[in-house]
Amino acid sequence: MLGAPPAQRFAFKGKGGDLFVVLIVNMLLTFITLGLYYPWAKARKLSWYYEHTELDGHPFHFHGTGSEMFRGFIKAIALLLLIYGTYIVGVLTKEVTIVLVGILVMFVGLLAFIPLVIHGSLRYRSSRSSWRGIHFGYRGQLRELYRICLRDGLLTLITLGIYASWFTINVRRYTLSHMRYGSSSYAYKGDGTEYFLLNLKGYFLTLFTLGIYAFWWQRDLFNYYVNNLVWNFQDGKRIDFKSTATGGGFFGLMVVNLLIIIFTLGIGFAWVEVRTMRYVMENIRMEGDADLNAVVQTEQEHKNAMADDLGDLMDIGVFF
């Protein structure tokens, strides 16, 4: 299809000063409430990002609320306390076997949660996201995700980490291919081998160029994410995503970001976030003639935020 060049249809309209105020208010309230405000703060922040991200001039919307995330937060904390509690009780009893069982429960317990965290976060976050009043959704099966993680996790272990590239892409392909926007759906066509070669090349060239190639490696990773993503519509039409990011672009973005952070002693982080979001949104282009007006609402609400908060507490980034 040799038509018009990929169109820029995403835009990020947020201003650093505005985000700064939102984050400072969050900080104050989180502090005053001894951390209990955290879920509300998170909801406010996410809302702000969604509200300032636009596609075809229409903003996204985050529907999650502080109170439903608070319930998830409490459940996640209780679960983690249970897991760590087993370990601590084990240590206090001083029995070697009980200590070992405690350690085992802790590690296996935490590892076993990763697929659950990914699944739950995707379900929750997507169902609480909308554009033009139509909700996103995730229809992947938890059991299937466990199967992939178990199989690929073992293979990664056996191959001493080499299989990690395939692991990453298999999980990404499964999850993105089960993401929906109303009656339309997404697909990801990336594959592990290509991703592995890309990382191999990136790693060695970064090493040989004393780190300078890192920006081009970053570009390749970004492009591999975006260019393999497809948006399919009910009438058989589709939209391809195309990245226009460049190594030079990433270089400029990251170096200036670093300077801002250093010279403002970190106070400029809001401006750094905004610069980054703007760069990302401006460089995801769309190609195709599908009709974005024809999508119909299909997804139900999913209000359980536990896995999302569990992901936060365990420091697992689901949203790459």
Report which residue type is found at 283. Answer: N
Cβ pair 43, 62 in contact under 8 A? yes
What character string, x for contact with another protein (CB under 8 A) and - otherwise, covers 217-236?
--------------------
Q: Scan residues 29-88 and list those touching another protein (CB under 8 A).
A: 29-31, 34-35, 38, 40, 44-45, 47-48, 51-52, 58-59, 61
Q: Based on the shown chain and the rule CB under 8 A, indicate whether residue 266 belongs to the binding site for another protein.
A: yes
Residue 296, token pair as written in the block: 């119909």
Binds another protein by CB under 8 A, chosen from 100, 256, 259, 262:
262
Integer Cα distance of 140 and 311 in angstroms: 18
**Span interacting with another protein, options 151-159, 213-221, 246-254, 288-296, rule CB under 8 A:** 288-296
3-class state of residue 131 by DSSP? strand
Q: Which residues are 240's β-sheet partners? A: 230, 287
Q: Based on the shown chain and the rule CB under 8 A, indicate whether residue 282 belongs to the binding site for another protein.
A: no
Integer Cα distance of 86 and 313 in angstroms: 18
DSSP state of 319: -
> Alpha carbon of 2 to those of 66, 126, 201, 287, 297: distances in Å?
47, 33, 31, 10, 32
Question: Closer to another protein at the Cβ: 4 or 34?
Answer: 34
| CB neighbourhood size of 87 (10 A) | 18
**Span interacting with another protein, options 102-110, 116-124, 162-170, 265-273, rule CB under 8 A:** 265-273
> Alpha carbon of 91 to those of 78, 81, 111: distances in Å?
20, 15, 20
Question: Closer to another protein at the Cβ: 162 or 294?
Answer: 294
Q: Based on the shown chain and the rule CB under 8 A, indicate whether residue 132 belongs to the binding site for another protein.
A: yes
Query: Shortest gap between Cβ of 47 and another protein (angstroms)?
Result: 7
List residues near another protein by CB under 8 A. 13, 15, 17-18, 20-31, 34-35, 38, 40, 44-45, 47-48, 51-52, 58-59, 61, 91-92, 94, 131-135, 182, 261-262, 265-267, 269, 272, 292-297, 300-301
